[in-house]
Amino acid sequence: MARLPLIDPTHEATSEFAELRPVFEQLRQTRGRVPAMYRLLAHRPAILGAHRAYFNAALDTGVLPRAMKEKIAYKVARLRGSAYSSASHRRYALDHGVTEAELEALDDGAYAGLGAGEAAALTLAEEMVGHGGAVSDACFDALKAHYSPAEIVEIVALVGIMELASSFAAVFGLEPDGTPATGK
């Protein structure tokens, strides 16, 4: 159970929460719902807006395929032991064409069935999470062999925001919520 109250949907119509409506609407468009994390962060609208903008830039938009980014998000959540983030990004990964078999392979660290670029990105995520953000030169060089600087920034930004989201979920006691987003 969450350690703080979540902003209830009935409060969305009040003038007190007017500044949250655009953020919540964007979430409904990109996620099909307003996840619990955002309902909690809504207690500080500026933090909610900044967090959502960063997440949108790293995950919802950008140059890399969404399915690949959901694999990375799911992997980071699993590495961090976040049931909340793992469940959310498992659903989103499936919604974006990732298969159950691929998710099982990610859980096992078995990247042979993926392309070399995806394997390099997932290895980077493992090293970042496992070594406090530090990665070896060999890992970074493998990433550079497959991705442009903009794509590398996007991958690293995604790993970073997923670590933050996993930390939020742990601190605030968030449990898996919601239903799958469809077609987003």
Q: What's the predicted TM-score (pTM) here?
A: 0.90
**Does the domain formed by 66-172 have CATH 3.30.1380.10?**
no
Give the model confidence (pLDDT) of 39-60 as tens digits. Answer: 999 999 889 989 999 999 999 9
What's the pLDDT band for 178 if we cut at 50, 70, 90? low
Please, is 104 exposed, middle or buried when counting C-beta atoms within 10 Å of its C-beta (0-12, 13-18, 19+)? exposed
Residue 76: CB atoms within 10 Å: 26
Residue 60, C-beta contacts closer than 8 angstroms, at least 6 positions apart: 30, 66
pLDDT digits over 119-140, tens only?
999 999 999 999 999 999 999 9
Q: Token digits for 92?
A: 């989103």
pLDDT of residue 183: 35
* The pLDDT value given to residue 102: 95
Distance of CA 39 to the CA centre of its chain: 16
CB of 50 closer than 8 Å to CB of 101: no
Residues of CATH 1.20.1290.10 domain(s) within the chain? 66-172
